[in-house]
Structure 1
C-alpha cells in the first residue's frame, strides 16, 4: 500500500505539473487532486500487492531468512514497478524512444540499488531505529492510502457511469432576470438521434423534453468544426464574417459575444467545457466571469495502468477504468457551482465531448446497442487493433484510405457513437434535473445544440476535418422558453448563429432587438398558442462553410494523387434552401443535392 500510494502520488504530481501549464484563469482543486491520487494508488495496489506477495513467497521458498527478505522485496518492487510505470508514462507523453526507455529502466535500477544498499546499511547500523522507522512508514502510508481511497470512492471518478447528483430539493429565490442554460453536445449528428426519427432509442429524454421545446428540424452548423461553429453561435455571425478557422484560432476581441452582453447587463456567467478549443486560448470564452476547461482536468487522470488497459484492449472490470470523456465530472462541478447562493441571474454554458472520437463511454451504454462480442471489440479498437484510433480514423482514414477498418469494426464504432449520444442524453437529463429540483427551471431558458456532426464512413471519410456534407452540417438544436413551454417544430432551414439573437432577445426583452443578417430570433417565429399552426419563419437560405484543413494537415497530402482524396482539401461553401443543397468548392467542383 505504501509503494502504491507513492506511485500514485508520483504519477499524479507529474500529470498535475503538465496540466497546470495549460490552465488559464483556473486551478486544480485539492479535492480532485486527492481523488485522482486515490484512484492511481488503488489501481496500483490491486496490481502490485499480489505480485509483491508472490515475490515474497518465492524468496521464502528458496529458504531466504526473514531478515534477508526485507531489503530484497522492496528493491524488487521499485525496479519492476518503477520501470513499468516510467516506460508507460513516457509513451503517454509521446517520448517512447529507445534512449528515453533505457533511461527509465536505468533510473529504476539505480533507485532499486540505492534502496537495497541503504536498507542493508541502515538495518545493520541502527536495527532498532530501522524497525521503528519501517513501522512508522507503514502506519503513515496505510493511513494516507485509506484516506485517499476514501476521498476517491466518494468522487465521480470512482464510477463515472454510476455517479448521480445529490437529491437536493431546495427552492432558490427567483432572480430578477431569466437564467440561461446553454448545452452543446459536441460532434452530434441530428440523424443519429431518436429526437429526429432515428430508429435506435438514443435520446429518450430529449424526445420527451421536446414536448416543451421549440425544435429546429433543419438546423445547419455555420462551421464544420469547433472554433468557427462556437464563434458563430456566440456572435451571431457567419464563419466568413467572424473569421476564425484553422489559420486563425483566436476570436477577435472586437466581436461582442452573448456572454459579453449578458455580463454587461449584470448576469453571472460561467462555462464548463470539455473541449480544449472552447477555452481562453481561442478567446471563445470572452465575457465569462469564470470557467472550467474539463479537458485539462480529465488529463490529470491519465496514468500508466489505465493506459496499459487501453493498449491491451482489456475490458476493465474496475468502474473507474471504464470512464467517460468528462461528463460526470462536469456535472459534479456544476452541482457544486449551482449550490452557491446568488442574487443575480446567471448564464451557464456547458460543452460535452463524449460523441467525439474516441467515443469514450462506459460499458453499460455500449451494451445497449452492441452484442457482448461487439462490446469487447470496441475496447480493442481504442488502441490495440490498429493503434491510436483517434489518429488513425481522424487522419489516416481520410488521407491514405480506410482499408484497415473492416465493415464489422465500422459498425462497432457507429454503435459506440450511438451509445455516446445515449449517455449524453442521460447527462443532459441529469443537468436539467438539477435546475428543476432547485426550482430554477421555470425561470431558465434552456438551449441545446450540436456544433457539428461526424462522418461515420459516409463519403469514405471519418471524423469532421473535411468538406461540408450533411453528415457534418445537420445538427440538433432546440430551445425551451420557460414563459411558453409548448411543443413546436421549425421545418425551414435555421442556423446555429440564430441562437445569438434568440438567447439575448429572450434574456433581455427590454434591450434593442439583437437580430442580424445571420441571426434570427427563433422564438419570435412561433405562432400564437391558440392559432394551432406550426411556427414557420420565412423561407431562408442557411449557409455553412468549411475553410479547408489546417496547414499541418495539408502537408500529408503532398504525395496524394487520387483526385477524390485531393478534393477533400478544398475550401467549400454550401447553401441549404427549400429541398436543395448546393455545394461550391474552391477547386471548381459543384454539387447539388435533393434533401
Structure 2
C-alpha cells in the first residue's frame, strides 16, 4: 500500500529513537524477540541492510548511499570523512541529537561523534560513561600492577561520580573473570547500560530529539550468561564462541556441527534477553515521552555456517540473506502503515523514514528492486590464504523472488528467495561476468569501484588502549 499522512500527528514534531541490534538476523529475531513484535505497531518483514558489517552499514543508514558512494568501508573506517550535512540529521531542524553505542567502531575513535550533539560510549568494562574506569585511567598513567590500582582508586574517589567509577571497575572485573566459566557470565555485554544511558539522555534532552542506540550483545564472542533464559541455552558454563576463529569456521573440510548447535542456542538466548530489556525500555520511554516513535532494526545479521549461508561464518566477505535480511519494527508511529508490510524496504531509505516519522508522516519507503554492496572483507585478522578472494568487492540486486550477486573477480550467482522463509536463499545458477543492469544502481563498475577504494585507503585511526582491547575481544584485531 502507499501509506498516508496523519494530519493529527503532523501538527507537531515527533521524537524518533532508532535502536540498532548489532548482528541480529531476521529469522532469529522473529523467533526470539516476541515481546518487541507484540509491542510493535508496524513490522516491515522484508527489510534489507545496505551492507554486511558495521562500518559501511552505519554510514549507509545515515547517508542513504551505498558504500562505494559514501566512501566508508573496509579501506576507510572513519565516519568523520563524511560531513554531517551529508546525513539525514541535517534535515532535523531544531532537534537535539544523541547516541549511545556499545560498538567500538561506532565511537569517537572512528569519528561517529562528529554527526551527533552527544555520543556516550559503553563497553563491558566502562558501563557508566559519565564516570571514570580502570581502562580510562590506564590510558593516562604508565603505572602497572598494584600501583595502577592505587592510582585508579585515587582518581575514582576524586571524580565527580566516585560511586559509579567504582562500579565500572566492579562490572569490568565480573565481565573479565566470569566470561569463560566455571560459572555463567554474571554481566551482559552492555544492553542494560545502553538503555540506562539513553534514558538519561532523553531525560536531559530538549525536545524534539533524535536518538540512536547500538547494542552489541549478539555480536561474538558469545558466552552463556546468568541473565539469559536458561531454558533456551543448554550450554556448558565455560563455553565460548571464540574457541574457533572465523577462518577456522570457514574451513570447508570441517562443519563444526556441535559448535553451531551450541552457538545458535546462546545467540537466540541473547536476542531473547535483549527483547526483554528493550521492551521494558520502550515502555519507560513512552511513559516519559509519549510523542516518540521507536524504530528497531539491525545493521546486519550473522552467518551461521548453514547451507543458506553458503556455509560461511560471522560476517566476512558475504552478502547472504543471513547478513542482509534484518528486522525493522516501528513502535508508536503515526497512523498510515499496515501492521505487517511485506514489500521490500532498504536501509538506504531509513533517513526518509525517520524524517517522515518526525513530521508525523508515514512515507512511502517501499521498493520493487534494491541493491546492497560490500567493499572488501571487513575489518579483522587477515585470512591464512587466498587474500584476493576474501577481500573482493561484492554487489547484489534484489528483484522479486530473485537475488543476483556478483563480485570483482567476475563471479556471478543467482539465488531464489522465499518471502515466507526469513534469512533464506537457495543457489539456482552460477555464471561469470557482471549483470547488464549494474548501472541502474551503481555509478561505477565493480572493478573500478574496488580499485578506487583501495587506492584511496586512509590511515587507521589512532586507537586508544581501551578501544584496542575491545576490538581484540570482538575479533577485529
- TM-score, L = length of structure 1: 0.56
Q: Secondary structure at the match of 1:494?
A: strand
By how many angstroms is 1:363 displaced? 2.7
Contact 2:315/2:323 (CA < 8 Å) preserved in 1?
Answer: yes
In the TM superposition, 1:106-125 aligns within 5 A as none
Q: Distance in 2 between matches of 1:582 and 1:257?
A: 29
1:164-203 equivalence runs, <5 A: 177-194=13-30, 198=31, 202-203=32-33
Q: Name 1:248's counterpart in structure 2.
A: 76
1:250-399 to 2 correspondences below 5 Å: 250-251=78-79, 252-254=81-83, 256-262=86-92, 265-295=93-123, 297-298=126-127, 301=169, 307-311=176-180, 313-316=181-184, 321-340=185-204, 343-360=206-223, 362-370=225-233, 374-375=234-235, 377=236, 379-382=237-240, 389-390=241-242, 392-398=244-250
Q: Count the aligned residue pairs.
A: 361
**Greater relative CO (CA pairs within 8 A, separation 6+):** 2
Q: Residues 207-218 of structure 1 correspond to what in structure 2 (within 5 A)?
A: 207-210=37-40, 212-213=41-42, 215-218=43-46
Task: Show the counterpart of 1:95.
Answer: none
Please report how far the alpha carbon of residue 454 of structure 1 lies from its aligned counterpart in structure 2 after TM superposition.
Answer: 0.3
CA RMSD, 1 decimal: 2.7
The SS at the match of 2:316 is coil
Question: In 1, distance between residues paired with 2:253 and 2:197?
Answer: 39
Aligned pairs for 1:474-513 within 5 A: 474-480=325-331, 482-484=333-335, 487-508=338-359
Q: Does the CA-based 8 Å contact 2:53-2:315 persist in structure 1? A: yes
Distance 1:308 1:328 in 2: 19
Q: In the alignment, is the contact (CA less than 8 A) between 1:467 and 1:570 conserved in 2? A: no
Residues 12 and 359 of structure 2 are in contact (CA less than 8 Å); yes or no, is this contact kept in structure 1? Answer: no
Q: Deviations over 1:228-270 (max 9, x none)?
A: 11111111112221111111111323352233332xx121111
CA distance in 1, matches of 2:97, 2:369: 32
Number of the residue aligned with 1:13? none
**Per-residue Cα deviation, 1:530-574 (whole angstroms, up to 9, x for no partner):** xxxxxxx4x5221111212258744x334x5xxxx9744322101
Preserved contact between residue 181 and residue 446 of structure 1 (Cα < 8 Å): yes
Contact 1:492 1:578 in 2 (8 A): no
Q: So what's the TM-score if we normalise by structure 2? A: 0.69
Query: In the alignment, which of 540, 550, 557 is matched to residue 384 of structure 2?
Result: 557
The Cα of 1:274 is off from its aligned counterpart by 0.6
After superposition, the C-alpha distances for 1:328-377 in whole angstroms (9 at most, x for unaligned) are 1222223333333x54311111111111112356335241313xxx33x2
The answer to whether the 8 Å contact 1:205/1:429 transfers is yes
Q: State how far apart, in whole Å, the 2-side matches of 1:409 and 1:549 are.
A: 23
Q: Which has the larger radius of gyration?
A: 1
State whether residues 545 and 574 of structure 1, in contact with CA within 8 Å, keep that contact through their aligned partners in structure 2: yes
- Paired residue secondary structure (2:90): helix
* Pair 1:343–1:570, CA change in 2 (3 A): closer
| Aligned counterpart, 2:414 | 592
Give the unaligned 5+ runs of structure 1. Answer: 1-174, 383-388, 510-520, 527-536
